[in-house]
Protein backbone atom coordinates (compact mmCIF):
# COMPACT_ATOMS: atom_id res chain seq x y z
CA UNK A 1 0.00 0.00 0.00
CA UNK A 2 1.22 3.46 -0.83
CA UNK A 3 -0.15 6.45 1.08
CA UNK A 4 -0.05 9.75 -0.74
CA UNK A 5 0.13 12.85 1.40
CA UNK A 6 0.34 16.12 -0.54
CA UNK A 7 2.99 15.48 -3.13
CA UNK A 8 4.77 12.92 -0.97
CA UNK A 9 4.31 9.17 -0.98
CA UNK A 10 4.89 8.30 2.66
CA UNK A 11 6.12 4.79 1.93
CA UNK A 12 9.04 6.44 0.17
CA UNK A 13 10.04 7.86 3.55
CA UNK A 14 11.97 5.06 5.11
CA UNK A 15 11.59 6.29 8.70
CA UNK A 16 9.00 6.22 11.39
CA UNK A 17 7.04 9.47 11.74
CA UNK A 18 7.11 10.34 15.43
CA UNK A 19 5.91 13.28 17.49
CA UNK A 20 7.20 14.55 20.80
CA UNK A 21 5.06 16.84 22.96
CA UNK A 22 4.36 17.71 26.59
CA UNK A 23 0.88 18.62 27.82
CA UNK A 24 -0.92 19.25 31.09
CA UNK A 25 -4.05 17.44 32.36
CA UNK A 26 -6.21 19.54 30.00
CA UNK A 27 -4.01 18.98 26.93
CA UNK A 28 -2.56 22.50 27.27
CA UNK A 29 0.78 22.87 25.42
CA UNK A 30 1.54 26.57 24.98
CA UNK A 31 1.22 30.08 26.37
CA UNK A 32 2.02 33.30 24.49
CA UNK A 33 4.39 31.59 22.10
CA UNK A 34 6.27 29.73 24.81
CA UNK A 35 5.89 26.73 27.09
CA UNK A 36 3.51 27.18 30.08
CA UNK A 37 6.03 25.49 32.43
CA UNK A 38 9.73 25.02 32.98
CA UNK A 39 10.69 21.41 33.73
CA UNK A 40 14.45 20.96 33.20
CA UNK A 41 14.33 17.16 33.43
CA UNK A 42 11.70 17.05 30.65
CA UNK A 43 13.94 19.24 28.49
CA UNK A 44 16.80 16.80 29.11
CA UNK A 45 14.50 13.91 28.11
CA UNK A 46 13.55 15.84 24.95
CA UNK A 47 17.23 16.32 24.16
CA UNK A 48 18.10 12.63 24.69
CA UNK A 49 15.14 11.42 22.66
CA UNK A 50 15.52 13.76 19.71
CA UNK A 51 19.32 13.82 19.42
CA UNK A 52 20.51 13.08 15.88
CA UNK A 53 16.97 13.03 14.44
CA UNK A 54 15.45 15.55 12.04
CA UNK A 55 13.05 17.94 13.82
CA UNK A 56 9.96 19.18 11.97
CA UNK A 57 8.29 22.22 13.56
CA UNK A 58 6.09 25.25 12.97
CA UNK A 59 7.69 28.65 12.64
CA UNK A 60 6.29 29.85 16.01
CA UNK A 61 7.83 26.88 17.81
CA UNK A 62 11.18 27.52 16.12
CA UNK A 63 11.13 31.16 17.25
CA UNK A 64 10.49 29.97 20.82
CA UNK A 65 13.63 27.82 20.83
CA UNK A 66 15.89 30.87 20.72
CA UNK A 67 18.14 29.31 18.07
CA UNK A 68 19.14 26.05 16.45
CA UNK A 69 19.42 23.06 18.78
CA UNK A 70 22.75 21.27 18.29
CA UNK A 71 23.01 17.83 16.71
CA UNK A 72 19.60 17.78 15.01
CA UNK A 73 18.56 18.94 11.53
CA UNK A 74 15.74 21.52 11.75
CA UNK A 75 12.94 21.73 9.20
CA UNK A 76 10.71 24.76 9.83
CA UNK A 77 7.28 25.12 8.19
CA UNK A 78 6.12 28.61 7.25
CA UNK A 79 3.83 30.21 4.68
CA UNK A 80 6.28 33.12 4.39
CA UNK A 81 8.21 32.59 1.15
CA UNK A 82 10.99 34.89 2.36
CA UNK A 83 11.55 33.33 5.77
CA UNK A 84 14.95 31.75 6.29
CA UNK A 85 17.40 31.08 9.08
CA UNK A 86 20.99 29.84 9.13
CA UNK A 87 21.22 26.12 9.79
CA UNK A 88 17.53 25.51 9.07
CA UNK A 89 15.72 23.89 6.12
CA UNK A 90 12.56 25.81 5.25
CA UNK A 91 9.37 24.08 4.05
CA UNK A 92 6.07 25.62 2.98
CA UNK A 93 3.87 22.60 3.59
CA UNK A 94 3.94 19.68 6.02
CA UNK A 95 4.37 17.29 3.09
CA UNK A 96 7.49 19.17 1.92
CA UNK A 97 8.84 19.18 5.48
CA UNK A 98 8.43 15.39 5.74
CA UNK A 99 10.09 14.90 2.35
CA UNK A 100 13.08 17.00 3.46
CA UNK A 101 13.27 15.19 6.81
CA UNK A 102 13.15 11.86 4.96
CA UNK A 103 16.49 12.68 3.34
CA UNK A 104 18.30 12.56 6.67
CA UNK A 105 19.39 9.03 7.48
CA UNK A 106 17.97 8.15 10.90
CA UNK A 107 15.24 5.88 12.20
CA UNK A 108 12.69 8.56 13.13
CA UNK A 109 11.42 11.94 11.99
CA UNK A 110 10.43 13.96 15.06
CA UNK A 111 7.53 16.39 14.77
CA UNK A 112 7.94 18.72 17.74
CA UNK A 113 4.99 21.12 17.50
CA UNK A 114 3.37 23.42 17.93
CA UNK A 115 -0.33 22.84 18.21
CA UNK A 116 -1.17 23.74 14.60
CA UNK A 117 1.48 21.49 13.08
CA UNK A 118 0.49 18.66 15.44
CA UNK A 119 -3.17 19.00 14.42
CA UNK A 120 -2.27 18.53 10.78
CA UNK A 121 0.34 15.82 11.35
CA UNK A 122 -1.45 13.72 13.98
CA UNK A 123 -3.09 11.25 11.52
CA UNK A 124 0.35 10.45 10.09
CA UNK A 125 2.13 9.90 13.38
CA UNK A 126 3.05 6.32 14.26
CA UNK A 127 4.81 6.90 17.56
CA UNK A 128 4.09 9.61 20.11
CA UNK A 129 6.46 10.57 22.91
CA UNK A 130 4.04 12.34 25.24
CA UNK A 131 4.81 13.87 28.61
CA UNK A 132 1.65 14.38 30.65
CA UNK A 133 2.05 16.77 33.58
CA UNK A 134 -0.36 16.17 36.44
CA UNK A 135 -1.24 19.84 36.87
CA UNK A 136 -3.49 22.56 35.38
CA UNK A 137 -1.66 25.51 33.86
CA UNK A 138 -2.95 28.60 32.04
CA UNK A 139 -2.28 29.09 28.36
CA UNK A 140 -3.63 29.44 24.84
CA UNK A 141 -2.65 26.36 22.81
CA UNK A 142 -3.97 22.82 23.28
CA UNK A 143 -3.22 19.41 21.77
CA UNK A 144 -6.87 18.88 20.84
CA UNK A 145 -5.79 16.60 18.01
CA UNK A 146 -4.70 14.00 20.58
CA UNK A 147 -7.25 11.32 21.55
CA UNK A 148 -6.21 8.57 24.00
CA UNK A 149 -8.54 6.10 22.24
CA UNK A 150 -6.32 6.15 19.17
CA UNK A 151 -3.14 5.11 20.99
CA UNK A 152 -1.69 2.12 22.84
CA UNK A 153 0.82 2.53 25.62
CA UNK A 154 4.19 1.01 24.79
CA UNK A 155 5.98 2.30 27.89
CA UNK A 156 5.25 4.72 30.70
CA UNK A 157 7.51 6.15 33.37
CA UNK A 158 6.16 8.09 36.34
CA UNK A 159 8.25 10.91 37.75
CA UNK A 160 7.55 12.78 40.99
CA UNK A 161 9.46 16.02 41.53
CA UNK A 162 6.99 17.45 44.06
CA UNK A 163 9.49 17.14 46.92
CA UNK A 164 11.82 19.45 44.96
CA UNK A 165 8.98 21.94 44.38
CA UNK A 166 8.19 20.51 40.95
CA UNK A 167 5.41 18.41 39.46
CA UNK A 168 4.33 14.85 38.96
CA UNK A 169 4.46 13.82 35.33
CA UNK A 170 4.57 10.72 33.14
CA UNK A 171 6.64 9.98 30.09
CA UNK A 172 4.45 7.93 27.75
CA UNK A 173 5.64 6.26 24.58
CA UNK A 174 2.50 5.55 22.56
CA UNK A 175 1.92 3.61 19.34
CA UNK A 176 -0.90 4.53 16.97
CA UNK A 177 -3.78 2.03 16.86
CA UNK A 178 -3.86 1.60 13.12
CA UNK A 179 -4.59 -1.62 11.35
CA UNK A 180 -2.38 -0.76 8.42
CA UNK A 181 1.07 0.71 8.78
CA UNK A 182 1.81 3.70 6.59
CA UNK A 183 4.81 1.68 5.50
CA UNK A 184 2.99 -1.56 4.65
CA UNK A 185 4.77 -3.51 1.96
The residue (of 6 and 52) whose beta carbon lies closer to ligand NAP is: 6
Chain residues in the site for ligand NAP (CB under 6 A): 21-23, 29-31, 33-35, 57-61, 64, 77-80, 83, 92-94, 112-117, 120, 141
- HSE value, Cβ hemisphere, 13 Å, CA-based, for 39: 26
> How far, in Å, are 28, 168, 185 from residue 58 at the CA level?
17, 28, 31
The residues with which 127 forms a beta bridge, in sequence order, are: 18, 175
The residue (of 17 and 115) whose beta carbon lies closer to ligand NAP is: 115
The residue (of 116 and 150) whose beta carbon lies closer to ligand NAP is: 116
Are the beta carbons of 17 and 47 closer than 8 angstroms?
no
Q: How far is the CB of 184 from ligand NAP (least distance, A)?
A: 26
The residue (of 66 and 180) whose beta carbon lies closer to ligand NAP is: 66
Q: How far is the CB of 57 from ligand NAP (least distance, A)?
A: 6
Q: How far is the CB of 18 from ligand NAP (least distance, A)?
A: 13
Distance CA 18, CA 9 (A): 17
Q: How far is the CB of 30 from ligand NAP (least distance, A)?
A: 2
Q: How far is the CB of 58 from ligand NAP (least distance, A)?
A: 2
User: DSSP letter string over 35-99?
Assistant: -S---HHHHHHHHHHHTTS-EEEEHHHHHHHTSPPTTS-EEEE-S-TT---TTEEEESSHHHHHH
Q: How far is the CB of 179 from ligand NAP (least distance, A)?
A: 27
Are the beta carbons of 83 and 90 closer than 8 angstroms?
yes
> How far, in Å, are 93, 110, 118 from residue 85 at the CA level?
17, 19, 22
The residue (of 79 and 138) whose beta carbon lies closer to ligand NAP is: 79
The residues with which 168 forms a beta bridge, in sequence order, are: 160
The residue (of 1 and 67) whose beta carbon lies closer to ligand NAP is: 67
Amino acid sequence: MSVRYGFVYLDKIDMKIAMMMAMDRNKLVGREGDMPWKIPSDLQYFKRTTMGKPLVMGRVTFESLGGVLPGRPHIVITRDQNWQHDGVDTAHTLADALAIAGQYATDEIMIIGGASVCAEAMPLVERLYLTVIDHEFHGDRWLDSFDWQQWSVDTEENIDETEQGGYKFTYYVLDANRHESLHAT
